[in-house]
Structure 1
């Protein structure tokens, strides 16, 4: 049976979440012939306190990242980072929904709801509204990814923690994932900083051990339609 390529959409609250959470998985999707798409919810702007120089450098980073992944499409909603709670939920849902209608993804990757960063929670909630099966019947799978420095610092007492039940072998793609993340110079740091090559390698190794692979990325399955 010939493989039918799938449309894959990763929804990232901030630039780097897509690579931290599922960079290796995206590279594997691309290698297997799938079409990968990136929806970036927030963006830097002068009104949010960023300098023109920093805004331009971030756009250059996003351009380089896009080239490395060879995304079919990149959509930037440009909403204010660390301030999504100041917006109506309808505005966030509307932007995500418009992209989902355009891409018609088979698989959607979203951030874990109980991450430390409030933007992740709001993006997750909006994404759930924008992936309802009766409105978006083409979506067959929704998974949440873990974001090191956010998922592991989510300390809500009522949260049971990130408990992955889907693992994707990224042994062939880990080094490329780390090289891509190095493009985000202001986001990566030296160990023991969580967003460091050593920490990310360690996490991939742990997830690999849990799934009998040399390196893996882990997800929580939210919905699957067979």
Structure 2
């Protein structure tokens, strides 16, 4: 994994950071590299309210914010909220968001930005904020631009994009990643719900989780195309 000066993660929702890149973040922090998460929204329009439900439409934003703060504490990274509304980023002026992000990046001067690959990240907020983050870096002076890692997970993305050029084995940080993921209790479901007591579960379930979360892959964005 690369040695960086400062890493900035730009994603739209609480929990995006944990599911997608917690292992890489933890690895950077283990090297003493600062990591800052610019989180787009509070995820206030999310459909999951806990299992069994313990949130409602009014309380969900505060709950998800606290879950995010807990995950950032686990990962030992700085958090900055961008203040956008969940499920509306695609309707915002993309250039205005890009300029907003550029102002923050100009202050932090990161060497690496992690975001979503526009068009290949399923959720409209993922695609829109990823596109704005890339535009923000594109607006920077060439010699000051950080490298950008983009994450894709839409069905069949490799058919269009090929194999990711960045493959981070984070299996040795599995427990740290799981701790961050499980901070987002309101959103835990499926295999994640099963893994709340993962240390007590059988090897089959644990192996399935390690296969799912033990590797994090990214595409380095090419600004020349």
After TM superposition, the score normalised by the length of structure 2 is: 0.77
* Aligned pair partner of 2:63 in 57, 65, 79: 57
Partner of 1:120: 126
1:69 aligns with 2:75: yes
Alignment of 1:10-49 (within 5 A): 10-44=9-43
1:188 aligns with 2:193: no
d(CA) in 2 for partners of 1:65, 1:140: 25
- The answer on whether the counterparts of 2:9 and 2:113 sit within 8 Å (CA) in structure 1 is yes
Greater strand fraction, Structure 1 or Structure 2: 1
Give CA deviations for 1:116-139 in whole Å, capped at 9, x if unaligned: 211111112111111127526333
Q: Could you tell me how far 1:184 is from its partner in structure 2?
A: 0.6
Alignment of 1:130-145 (within 5 A): 130-132=136-138, 134-135=140-141, 137-145=143-151
Q: Could you tell me how far 1:192 is from its partner in structure 2?
A: 8.8
d(CA) in 1 for partners of 2:209, 2:162: 16
- The answer on whether the counterparts of 1:110 and 1:144 sit within 8 Å (CA) in structure 2 is yes
Give CA deviations for 1:143-169 in whole Å, capped at 9, x if unaligned: 1124xxxx24478xxx71563111112
Greater helix fraction, Structure 1 or Structure 2: 2
Partner of 1:95: 100
- The answer on whether the counterparts of 1:39 and 1:99 sit within 8 Å (CA) in structure 2 is no
SS of the aligned residue for 1:82 comes to: coil
- The answer on whether the counterparts of 2:148 and 2:220 sit within 8 Å (CA) in structure 1 is yes
Q: CA RMSD in A?
A: 3.1
Q: Could you tell me how far 1:95 is from its partner in structure 2?
A: 2.4
Q: How many residue pairs get matched?
A: 202
* CA 1:84–1:133: 2 relative to 1, 3 Å: closer
d(CA) in 2 for partners of 1:123, 1:5: 23
- Runs (5+) with no aligned partner, structure 2: 46-55, 199-204
- Runs (5+) with no aligned partner, structure 1: 205-214
> Which gives a bigger RCO, structure 1 or 2 (Cα 8 Å, sep 6+)?
2
* Aligned pair partner of 2:135 in 125, 129, 140: 129
d(CA) in 2 for partners of 1:26, 1:36: 7
